Amino acid sequence: MFLGVAIVFSLIFVGAPMAISRLTGAHKPDPAKLSEYECGFPAFEDSRDQFDVRFYLVAILFIIFDLEVAFLFPWAVSLMGVGWASWIAMMIFLTELTLGLVYAWQKGALEWE
Protein backbone atom coordinates (compact mmCIF):
# COMPACT_ATOMS: atom_id res chain seq x y z
CA MET A 1 0.00 0.00 0.00
CA PHE A 2 2.81 2.39 0.91
CA LEU A 3 4.62 1.61 -2.33
CA GLY A 4 1.46 2.35 -4.31
CA VAL A 5 0.96 5.68 -2.53
CA ALA A 6 4.62 6.58 -3.14
CA ILE A 7 4.32 5.78 -6.84
CA VAL A 8 1.12 7.81 -7.18
CA PHE A 9 2.61 10.83 -5.41
CA SER A 10 5.82 10.62 -7.43
CA LEU A 11 3.81 10.56 -10.63
CA ILE A 12 1.77 13.54 -9.46
CA PHE A 13 4.64 15.69 -8.20
CA VAL A 14 7.35 14.68 -10.68
CA GLY A 15 5.73 13.24 -13.76
CA ALA A 16 2.81 15.65 -14.08
CA PRO A 17 4.87 18.89 -14.19
CA MET A 18 7.25 17.33 -16.73
CA ALA A 19 4.36 16.20 -18.93
CA ILE A 20 2.58 19.55 -18.67
CA SER A 21 5.74 21.47 -19.58
CA ARG A 22 6.22 19.31 -22.67
CA LEU A 23 2.60 19.76 -23.71
CA THR A 24 2.52 23.52 -23.16
CA GLY A 25 5.76 24.19 -25.01
CA ALA A 26 7.87 25.22 -22.02
CA HIS A 27 10.44 22.58 -22.98
CA LYS A 28 12.52 24.31 -25.67
CA PRO A 29 16.18 23.45 -25.20
CA ASP A 30 18.78 25.67 -26.82
CA PRO A 31 22.57 25.96 -26.40
CA ALA A 32 22.26 28.66 -23.73
CA LYS A 33 19.95 26.51 -21.60
CA LEU A 34 22.09 23.41 -22.02
CA SER A 35 25.37 25.13 -21.16
CA GLU A 36 27.05 24.56 -17.82
CA TYR A 37 26.10 27.28 -15.37
CA GLU A 38 26.54 25.65 -11.97
CA CYS A 39 30.20 24.74 -11.82
CA GLY A 40 31.73 27.17 -14.29
CA PHE A 41 33.75 24.79 -16.41
CA PRO A 42 32.71 22.61 -19.35
CA ALA A 43 31.60 19.05 -18.76
CA PHE A 44 34.31 16.44 -19.05
CA GLU A 45 34.26 13.12 -20.83
CA ASP A 46 36.26 11.08 -18.34
CA SER A 47 34.82 10.82 -14.84
CA ARG A 48 38.28 10.17 -13.42
CA ASP A 49 39.63 13.63 -14.28
CA GLN A 50 41.11 15.47 -11.33
CA PHE A 51 39.58 18.70 -10.07
CA ASP A 52 41.51 21.56 -8.62
CA VAL A 53 41.51 21.41 -4.82
CA ARG A 54 40.74 25.13 -4.62
CA PHE A 55 37.26 24.44 -5.97
CA TYR A 56 36.52 22.29 -2.93
CA LEU A 57 38.20 24.71 -0.52
CA VAL A 58 36.01 27.57 -1.69
CA ALA A 59 32.93 25.35 -1.36
CA ILE A 60 33.88 24.32 2.18
CA LEU A 61 34.59 27.91 3.17
CA PHE A 62 31.21 28.95 1.79
CA ILE A 63 29.48 26.29 3.87
CA ILE A 64 31.39 27.31 7.01
CA PHE A 65 30.49 30.97 6.70
CA ASP A 66 26.94 30.14 5.74
CA LEU A 67 26.62 28.14 8.96
CA GLU A 68 28.14 31.06 10.84
CA VAL A 69 25.28 33.25 9.70
CA ALA A 70 22.81 30.51 10.61
CA PHE A 71 24.19 30.52 14.18
CA LEU A 72 24.62 34.28 14.39
CA PHE A 73 21.09 35.35 13.49
CA PRO A 74 19.16 33.51 16.25
CA TRP A 75 21.80 34.55 18.76
CA ALA A 76 21.44 38.19 17.76
CA VAL A 77 17.65 38.04 17.98
CA SER A 78 17.73 36.62 21.51
CA LEU A 79 20.73 38.62 22.72
CA MET A 80 18.92 40.59 25.43
CA GLY A 81 17.80 37.52 27.34
CA VAL A 82 20.88 35.29 27.26
CA GLY A 83 23.45 37.29 29.21
CA TRP A 84 27.19 37.81 29.14
CA ALA A 85 28.14 34.15 28.96
CA SER A 86 26.41 33.83 25.61
CA TRP A 87 28.08 36.99 24.34
CA ILE A 88 31.53 35.75 25.34
CA ALA A 89 30.89 32.33 23.79
CA MET A 90 29.83 33.94 20.49
CA MET A 91 32.89 36.20 20.47
CA ILE A 92 35.10 33.11 20.91
CA PHE A 93 33.23 31.42 18.06
CA LEU A 94 33.63 34.47 15.79
CA THR A 95 37.32 34.76 16.70
CA GLU A 96 37.92 31.14 15.73
CA LEU A 97 36.15 31.66 12.41
CA THR A 98 38.10 34.84 11.75
CA LEU A 99 41.38 33.05 12.44
CA GLY A 100 40.31 30.28 10.06
CA LEU A 101 39.53 32.84 7.37
CA VAL A 102 42.88 34.58 7.85
CA TYR A 103 44.67 31.22 7.62
CA ALA A 104 42.80 30.25 4.44
CA TRP A 105 43.51 33.66 2.95
CA GLN A 106 47.23 33.39 3.73
CA LYS A 107 47.40 29.91 2.21
CA GLY A 108 45.80 31.21 -1.00
CA ALA A 109 42.57 29.23 -0.75
CA LEU A 110 40.54 32.26 -1.87
CA GLU A 111 42.64 33.02 -4.94
CA TRP A 112 41.22 31.90 -8.26
CA GLU A 113 43.03 31.94 -11.59
Any idea what the CATH number is for the domain that residue 79 is in? 1.20.58.1610
Q: Is 98 part of any domain? A: yes
Q: Is the pLDDT score of 18 beyond 80?
A: yes
Count of structural domains within the chain: 2
Q: Print burial letters for 52-79: b (CB count within 10 Å at least 16), e (below 16).
A: eeeeeebeebeeeeeebeeeeeeeeeee
**Which phi-psi region, left, alpha or beta, contains residue 108 (left: φ > 0; alpha: ψ -120 to 50)?**
left
Same-domain pairing of 52 and 97: yes
The pLDDT of residue 20 = 86
Number of neighbouring beta carbons within 10 Å of residue 4: 8
pLDDT tens, position by position, 39-67: 666 666 666 667 777 778 778 888 888 88
Same-domain pairing of 18 and 68: no
Identify the domain containing residue 22 by its residue range: 1-35
Q: Is 41 part of any domain? A: no
Specify the DSSP class assigned to residue 9: H
Q: Whole-model pTM?
A: 0.48
Q: Is 102 part of any domain? A: yes
β strands within the chain, DSSP E: none
